Amino acid sequence: MKIIELIHDYDHPDVPSNVDIWVEKSGWSTRRHYAYKEPRFPVPADFDLVIVHGGSQHLWFKEDHPWLSNEIEFVRKAITQGIPVVGFCLGSQIIAEAFGGKVFQSAENETGFYDVSPYPAASEHLILRGLDTGFSVFEWHSDHYTLPEGFTALAYSEKAANQIIANPQIPAVGFQFHPEYTKKIIIEYTAANPNEVWKINNAPLQIGEFARAVAQMKDTYSLFEKLMLNTLDYLNTTFAHLHL
């Protein structure tokens, strides 16, 4: 499988993410496209899967980042051509806006580990197989989005209604959270941003306390792998032309 990853920030982690581990473990190939400095996007049909990473940008304020409009068009084109797209955080917002959702500034940020729960009607969805009781995952966002027409919200948190979105008519899945971050990335990112209020189960912690708590958690890879394998099963089952 040939994967293209869309990268948005110059400080994107240079240590292996769960995406890197998963790709290497699976024996697939991946190419990184640095959207913030490569305005010309490749041909979607050259790839089997598009992964859209998170970023610090705000889709409701594109003046400082005009390339975002090109990226939204690339994602829309890939999906309408039948190329599956999976987005994390900003990536899920890009998917939403590409199909008519509205991205807005949230009343309250999610920064740290939060519980994500399936909606009752979605508890047996393939993407949530083995996760029907919910899970805790790292979040870092100040924006959220309205649900585009045709999409279903599969899971929610206390502060964000659309934590996982999918559309049975088009091959796109959005995750508002960051399962792709390893514990090392989380500890390094949070230490580099001490002005944020980092929380676990809604309890704010000092940076050192937060880092120690994260270090004692189980590896984040198992959740990432389960979500991705479930997502590939969902895409292959729902869209007959895919063989991921």
Residues known to be catalytic: 89, 178, 180
Which residues sit opposite 85 in a β-bridge? Answer: 50, 172
Question: Structure tokens of 90?
Answer: 């900003």
The half-sphere exposure of 160 on its side-chain side, counting CA atoms within 13 A, is 30
Distance CA 18, CA 127 (A): 18
Kindly give, in sequence order, each residue whose CB lies less than 8 Å from that of residue 215, ignoring residues fewer than 6 positions away: 183, 187
Question: Structure tokens of 110?
Answer: 């999610």
